[in-house]
Structure 1
């Protein structure tokens, strides 16, 4: 047997205190009575008082207190194995963020209408994984496949026109990137929903669609806009329209909905094309078709849960209190009014049940605390189970996602671990976001994905520019990336990294994870900050901080030069909307 809330057991120290109080009270009463009358007259004058009843009532009150405390501690025994399964399909939404989506032939604009459509689709999902890809002249994964619909909505809220640096509209890139976001081990359970105005300005859409079909992707397309079209407004910082986008000849661009291209894409893979409407009934039709598809098992977790047995001590406590309320210290039967008795019992039961109402939230904190203890003991598999149980009680807490991600990464389960850390970063406060990006960078470094690791360290430095560890790891990731590129350039057959026994690399390992569990909802493991405390006594000089920011800026400058070259190439065609 164990207790879910053992901290309440400390209240049992009140038993000897109460017993001493009852003994003192009875003794004081006897002394006060002895001052008034002699012991010989006491039997004749005090005929209704029963010392035995007084002692029995005091004992019942002690029984009530003891069993009530035990019930609050939630005793549990009788382990029960439970398997939790979730079934669904993988759905990736490709959202057009090109400048043509600023056209206002639908209210308030094509992009806002498209975001409303996607948000409505997410609200209809029940157990399916959702991912988000944004595209313009190229495509990027905005949100990997996840079961956390709250995180998906947060990523969707951050979408804006022009967020993809390369201008234009490349449906082929959107289809290719979205197809790569699915698992390559399966040839079904994949649904791609493309939300766009359909103006494809570059790329081989037919070839990208053919490859998606071979991968088992079912494509639905949603057209946003009107065939008549509208000019594309250009706004200033205040949001006022200052002009309309023009082509290289100085003519105002009229952006039209291309329904024919979207219908061909959907037809090729067995999907359907829908035009966005005010009622958003097309999304209901899409989800109805998706819900009829064969579903796969997305999650299957085995939990060992203990059965709550607090009902037994609680029943004894209720019975003891009812007996106390009904018992009198007089020898004759006490006359207690029924209505007074019932009100007392009702208030007593309410006082007992109110703490139980918050037991679910308290349980998440207790399980998180248990996971922190297991994590400190390096029992990462059991810590993962504890964090998953805590998430089941409180699914919207980012600290639980962060803790789970760290436990998964420690077990070399990199992909689900990175997903949990991303979910935490999407909803966490500033401090937790910085730690989440830092640990994501370390996981990516261990996977050999040095470019992605560097990008994660940059995000950590954006939040905390004084982070020495992130700067060290960023420099190391950039060095490893340069070595990797140099080796590939020298020989295709010798493109592997140097072994870890290399003398230089052995001294250039990334700073360790801030992998200790987040203390919210539970105690932080002792000594978890020891590694960082060693460095905290060194103050960061202004010059050193500027050097750190220069490292971040140099990373961005290289990316900007690459994007500028791409934009210059696109200017030749003149199509950048």
Structure 2
């Protein structure tokens, strides 16, 4: 790949011009020899072999010129990750997905109106880090902190009542989960809590007011948005077609009226130096919250990661310099610079040998760093492993294995954004081996699965299978993602956790393979999700997918999650 390929087009005219100059010079020498005397007399005066040497010099000049134009074209290969700098605030958004959010005192429903408000809010947070928590009786991070606002909006759009199968509204758990996630970041931190304010966590639930005080101690301000009305509204129960079958009743048979708990939300905001407001039809609450979020301190630092090809113009430029130097050393005399021909060969071959030795030393250093990184990875010391992979990448810029393994370490560190960039750069590269790209797509699918972006996960697993047909792990994970998309069974855990239901990444190359620099063996340990789906079931699901395109993501999300043991107040 070339950054400025137009220079390659200019290479041919330049070489033609150089050849014309040499040809004209040769004709001038012949004309001069005819003027000065007879050709045989001149041959005795001129050193034997001068004509072949001139042709060699012309070839060296032409090769050097071609390399100079190649350097100007800007050759690029190998993958390089760059942190993008910027000032960012840290904002976690917690959305109530309990059954009470289906009430229709706010049109169309509380949850749909909440998603509309938060979508506008996320649009205003471009350049900031945004995360998403869904909560009911439990809280779960459905979108880790990221600067990719489109990914956050896509996850928000997919939320439905019952996404968290544990009934209730545990405000305290949602607050503590957000504080835990925000604790690792510097600068201004905020939690946007959008709920109807009913704290129905049960007798063993966490006190939301105490959680708000802990948030204040951690430097997290809570901006609470109440949705609903103080008068309340019954909670509709719908069938699979969306038709109302009746209304939620408590254990005594009374119709439940879900009311907005403004007092609790206002107190939560007050104790964390935040702000409370209610969603109203006349104004967007998100606009006011966005304005107040601007008061947070934005801290300079890495706001994201981009991948690019490494510039390699130095290589052809250095080769061109060596060829021109060689031309000067050969010259047109018998012994250039007074060197005997044997000494001349030493003068050329010794530097070349030293250069080759240096290249081998750099390669050995890269393999050592790769081995050390893999040992640290196996001991779950992922940050130290990441540093070793970075050293290996610098020592061997053309080797994609350190970048791949760095992606694995970032996955374990829950830095899914940078892990995605690493795997995507390898997967989409046309210069990498098919097996490596297949593994990169496999791991990219796992990243997307962890982020809750199931359609993208499915697409990545499919591409992995297209590059390596019959891979049982990719087939299994594809079937698992499809089954989860169609009928999710449980809340999404945070990324990188060792949950048996979650797919884990492939890790390339132990670094101590016998063939240094070769492709690693395929028998690396890879734990597949133990969701107990048979090979036959996986094949059946894959056949069904190939025959019929799936409906949109929102339509395929679960409408009724399985219920946990019934609580006193389960709405």
Q: Give the TM-score of the pair, scaled to structure 2.
A: 0.51
Report the counterpart of residue 27 of structure 2 in structure 1. Answer: none
Residues 106-163 of structure 1, C-alpha deviations (whole Å, 9 max, x = no match):
1111111111111111100142210100000110001111111121112112211101
Structure 1 residues 544 and 200: CA distance shift in structure 2, 3 A: closer
Superposed counterparts of 1:290-309, under 5 Å: 290-299=293-302
| 2:129/2:147 contact within 8 Å kept | yes
Contact 1:132 / 1:144 at 8 angstroms: preserved in 2? yes
Q: Which residue of 1 aligns with 2:90?
A: 90
Equivalent in 245, 248, 267 of residue 248 of structure 2: 245
Per the alignment, do residues 18 and 233 of structure 1 end up closer, same or farther by CA in structure 2, a change over 3 Å counting? farther
Q: Give the Å deviation of 1:170.
A: 1.0
User: What is the aligned partner in structure 2 of residue 195 from structure 1?
Assistant: 194
Superposition pairs for residues 88-487 of structure 1, below 5 Å?
A: 88-184=88-184, 189-202=188-201, 203=205, 204-278=207-281, 280-299=283-302, 380-381=389-390, 406-409=405-408, 414-415=412-413, 417-421=415-419, 434-438=442-446, 467-469=471-473
CA distance in 1, matches of 2:295, 2:504: 49
Task: Note closer, same or farther for the CA distance 1:13–1:532 as it changes in structure 2 (3 Å cut).
Answer: farther
| Structure 2 residue aligned with 1:331 | none
Post-superposition offset of 1:237: 1.6
Q: Secondary structure at the match of 1:567?
A: coil
SS in 2 for 1:531: coil
Q: Which residue number in structure 1 is paired with residue 564 of structure 2?
A: 567
Provide the rounded CA distance (Å) in 2 between the counterparts of 1:179 and 1:237.
37
1:85 Cα deviation from its structure 2 partner: 2.5
Q: More deviation in 2-11 or 139-148?
A: 2-11
| Structure 1 residue 420 displacement after superposition | 3.3
Instruction: Give aligned pairs, total.
Output: 368
Confirm or deny: 8 A CA contact 2:88 2:300 kept in the other structure: yes
1:545 corresponds, among 535, 553, 571, to: 535
- How far, CA to CA, are the matches of 2:423 and 2:277 in structure 1? 34
1:218, distance to aligned residue in structure 2 (A): 0.5
SS at match of 2:143: strand
Which segment is superposed worse, 189-198 or 280-289?
280-289
Shift of residue 284 of structure 1?
Answer: 2.2
Is 2:101–2:196's contact at 8 Å kept on the other side of the alignment? yes
Alignment check: 8 A CA contact 1:218 1:271 kept? yes
- Counterparts of 1:260 and 1:70, CA distance in 2: 70
Residue-by-residue CA offset, 1:193-239 (whole Å, 9 max, x unaligned): 10011111123222222222222210010011111222111222222
State the SS of the aligned residue for 2:280: coil
**SS of the counterpart of 1:243?**
strand
CA distance in 2, matches of 1:223, 1:17: 76
Higher helix proportion: 1
- Structure 2: distance between partners of 1:208 and 1:511: 33
Q: 2:439 & 2:232 partners in 1: Cα distance?
A: 46
Match in the other structure for 1:531:
522
- 1:16-50 alpha-carbon deviations (Å, 9 max, x no partner): 789999xxxxxxxxxxxxxxxxxxxxxxxxxxxxx
CA distance in 2, matches of 1:10, 1:191: 55
Alignment partners' CA distance in 2, 1:472 and 1:116: 35
- Quick one: distance in 2 between partners of 1:84 and 1:421? 15
Distance 1:286 1:424, change over 3 A: farther
Contact 1:88 1:128 (8 Å CA) reproduced: yes
Question: 1:160-204: per-residue Cα shift (whole Å, max 9, x none)?
Answer: 110101011111111111111112575x62100100111111232
Cα distance in 1 for residues equivalent to 2:421 and 2:18: 53
Q: Which has the higher contact order (CA 8 A, sep 6+)?
A: 2
User: C-alpha distance in 1, partners of 2:507/2:189?
Assistant: 35
Greater shift in the superposed pair: 234-243 or 190-199: 234-243
Distance, in Å, in 1 between the alignment partners of 2:470 and 2:169 is 39
Structure 1 residues 440 and 256: CA distance shift in structure 2, 3 A: closer
Q: 2:506 aligns with which of 504, 513, 516?
A: 513
> Deviation at 1:9?
2.5
Distance 1:439 1:178, change over 3 A: closer
User: Residues 512, 153 of structure 1: CA spacing in aligned structure 2 closer, same or farther, 3 A cutoff?
Assistant: closer
1:285-333 per-residue CA deviation (whole Å, 9 max, x = no partner) reads 222222122222241799999899xxxxxxxxxxxxxxxxxxxxxxxxx
Distance 2:405 2:143 in 1: 19
In structure 2, C-alpha distance between the alignment counterparts of 1:512 and 1:305, rounded to whole Å:
26
Question: Is the CA contact 1:438–1:514 (under 8 Å) kept in the aligned structure 2?
Answer: no
Task: Answer yes or no: is the 8 Å Cα contact 1:139–1:177 preserved in 2.
Answer: yes
Distance 1:414 1:282, change over 3 A: same
What CA deviation, in whole Å up to 9, does each residue of 1:416-449 have, x standing for no partner?
A: 64343468999x99997643255799x9xxxxxx
Q: Shift in Å at residue 6 of structure 1?
A: 5.7
Aligned to 2:380: none
How does 1:61-76 map onto structure 2 within 5 Å? 73=73
CA contact (8 A) 2:408 2:507 kept: no
- Unmatched runs of 5 consecutive residues or more in structure 2: 21-65, 77-81, 314-365, 371-387, 395-399, 429-437, 451-456, 478-502, 510-516, 527-532, 540-560
